[in-house]
């Protein structure tokens, strides 16, 4: 099975014209492009090989929820995947484990494939709480869908590595993959899970992670905004199917 590369554009770029240019320039198979909400339809109109993802969703399909977007609305825009529980939302917007659980459940109900982000902060890492944090986030986030026989992507993103230019080591990531798989067995998950790494992934370090069969892809932030960078990362991923 091909490895997955997810391009999380975050709050970039500034205009629809730039978004379409970036999407055209990085339109490759095995890539999931996640632009800001307002550019979803623009990007959907230009990509031919890549899949379309969103950066978040709300847990209700309609109602008085100002500023939110539903899974139904995302599907109507051509979205197939959705990032849920990213550390920036947890930290900056107070997103809780319970909110993440409701969003995962909503994504399944609306026919979307969730990308669940988990990972520890520097303080938690320093206190040797990494496994404890990841277990808590997984148990809570998957609590409503453990019996589902559906696909989900779990992205381990150590918070301390995001945007720093200093990724975790492949060795630590392989240990985390084993830990997550063992945990899912212990809690009786019926989900089909793919585990990927995120956190300062660039073309010059991607191969260190993607060469391992246990690491099934990458969630890419800043590097996804440069056409040449994201193309190189996807090409690296293709080498290790």
Query: For residue range 113-172, what is the model confidence (pLDDT) as tens digits?
Result: 999 999 999 999 999 999 999 999 999 999 999 999 999 999 999 988 888 888 899 999
Give me 90's structure tokens.
């947890």
How crowded is the C-beta side of 47, counted as CA atoms within 13 Å?
A: 27
Residues shown for the chain: 241
Query: For residue range 186-213, what is the model confidence (pLDDT) as tens digits?
Result: 999 999 999 999 989 999 999 999 999 9
Give me 238's structure tokens.
């293709």
Cα gap 174→191, rounded to integer Å: 20
Cα gap 110→106, rounded to integer Å: 6
**pLDDT score for 130:** 96
Mean pLDDT, the chain, rounded, equals 96
Sign of the Cα pseudo-torsion (11, 211, 194, 139, in order): negative
Eight-state DSSP code of residue 159: G
**pLDDT score for 211:** 97
**Which pLDDT band, with edges at 50, 70 and 90, does 175 fall under?**
very high
Cα→Cα distances 205→77, 161, 223, Å = 33, 13, 11
Over pLDDT 90: what percentage of the chain?
94
Among candidate residues 86, 120, 137, 216, the one labeled active-site is 86
Report CA Rg, the chain.
Answer: 17
**pLDDT score for 163:** 81
Distance of CA 80 to the CA centre of its chain: 12
Whole-model pTM: value is 0.97
Q: Is the pLDDT of residue 60 over 80?
A: yes
Q: Is the pLDDT of residue 73 over 90?
A: yes
The stretch 170-195 carries a mean pLDDT of 97
Among candidate residues 120, 137, 157, 229, the one labeled active-site is 157
**pLDDT score for 1:** 73
Q: First-to-last CA distance in the chain?
A: 6
Q: Is the pLDDT of residue 80 over 80?
A: yes
* Annotation marks residue 18 as catalytic: no
Look at domain 4-239 and name its CATH class: alpha beta
* Annotation marks residue 235 as catalytic: no
Comparing CA positions, the residue from 69, 6, 14, 78 lying closest to residue 43 is 78
- Helices 130-141 and 170-186, interaxial angle, to 10°? 40
């Amino acid at each position: 099975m091909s490895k997955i590369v997810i391009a999380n554009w975050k709050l970039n770029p500034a205009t629809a014209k730039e978004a379409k240019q970036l999407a055209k320039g990085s339109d490759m198979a095995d890539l999931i492009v996640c632009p800001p909400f307002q550019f979803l339809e623009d990007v959907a109109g230009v990509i031919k090989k890549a899949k379309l993802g969103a950066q978040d969703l709300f847990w209700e399909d309609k109602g008085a929820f100002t500023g939110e977007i539903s899974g139904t609305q995302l599907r109507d825009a051509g979205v197939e995947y959705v990032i849920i529980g990213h550390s920036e939302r947890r930290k900056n917007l107070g997103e809780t484990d319970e909110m993440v659980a409701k969003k995962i459940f909503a994504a399944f109900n609306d026919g979307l494939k969730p990308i669940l982000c988990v990972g520890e902060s520097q303080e938690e890492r320093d206190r040797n709480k990494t496994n404890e944090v990841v277990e808590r986030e997984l148990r809570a986030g998957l609590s409503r869908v453990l019996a589902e026989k559906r696909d989900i992507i779990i992205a381990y993103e150590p918070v301390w590595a995001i945007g720093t230019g200093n990724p975790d080591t492949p060795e630590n990531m392989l240990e985390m993959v084993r830990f997550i798989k063992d945990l899912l067995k212990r809690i009786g998950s019926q989900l089909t899970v793919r585990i990927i790494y995120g956190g300062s992934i660039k073309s010059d370090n991607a191969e260190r992670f993607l060469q391992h069969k246990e690491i099934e892809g990458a969630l890419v932030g800043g590097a996804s905004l440069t056409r040449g960078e994201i193309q190189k990362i996807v090409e690296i991923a293709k080498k290790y199917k």
